[in-house]
Amino acid sequence: MPTISGPKFLKDSIAQIKERTARGEKVAVAFDVDNTLVDTRGRVLAIGKAFDKANGTSYFKGKTSKAMGNDAKETATNLKMTADHAKKFSAMFFREFFKGKNYQNDTQIRSTIELAKKAAAAGADVFYVTARTQSEESFTIKQLAKAGLPDVDATHVVSKAKMRDKTPEYKAGELTNLASHYDFVPWFITESRADIAGVQKLDAPVQSVLLETKFSGDKKVEADTPIWKLDVK
């Protein structure tokens, strides 16, 4: 089966949003946040610099965000950390990555931010379904508002109750709930193949769109998943 073009699917969806909202229908779209609307490599770099300072190392000295990996393991491999330092960095990474104060180090992914704005201009309510936690939601709202995104408030920013909650189950549940309150929800877009695979397995009634980037991983998704290839520099 040929790959379904994500850009074409999204363009067609925008047209449908305009048509449906003109008829008085309620329409919503959903976005992931980390590595979908914002690039988290700057956050990883900031955590790494704090690690160097705490451990008397220099792994991150002179490095830019482009040298960072998608997670602690990949970053440690990229920087050729010793096994002991890699273990310590991993522990620090998982303590710090989802702390709201560190979100300020992210950079914006303009292409998806512009898509969210287009959906809002077409008449859709825009929701942000993120694996970040409710305890840090004020930081998420501040970050998204700074990026100029639409509908940024406690209603439209949807976060996990607790970090230990399983992400695919949580996202599938939230997307199912969203679909029950709207006439049309054309997409949930994320860079994570793992999230999409989980949401599809649980039959969430919203079309997942894969933002295929260096962050996406290798999990298999359904063949009819629209794919938007984006080169995040």
Whichever domain contains 136, its CATH number is 3.40.50.1000
Of 51, 75, 96, which closes a domain? 96
Say if residue 16 is in the same domain as residue 118: yes
CA distances in angstroms from 89 to 44, 73, 206, 231, listed in the order given: 11, 9, 37, 27
Say if residue 87 is in the same domain as residue 128: no
1, part of any domain? no
pLDDT of residue 1: 63
75, part of any domain? yes
CA gyration radius, the chain? 18
Residues of the domain holding 88: 41-96
101, part of any domain? no
Say if residue 223 is in the same domain as residue 166: yes
Say if residue 90 is in the same domain as residue 174: no
* Count: domains in the chain: 2
Q: What is the pTM of this model?
A: 0.95
Q: Are the beta carbons of 219 and 3 closer than 8 angstroms?
A: no
225, part of any domain? yes
pLDDT tens for each residue of the chain, 233 residues long: 678 999 999 999 999 999 999 999 999 999 999 999 999 999 999 999 999 999 999 999 999 999 999 899 999 999 999 999 999 999 999 999 999 999 999 999 999 999 999 999 999 999 999 999 999 999 999 999 999 999 999 999 999 999 999 999 999 999 999 999 999 999 999 999 999 999 999 999 999 999 999 999 999 999 999 999 999 87
Say if residue 116 is in the same domain as residue 146: yes
Q: Are the beta carbons of 74 and 218 closer than 8 angstroms?
A: no
Of 30, 62, 96, which closes a domain? 96
102, part of any domain? no
Say if residue 45 is in the same domain as residue 35: no
116, part of any domain? yes
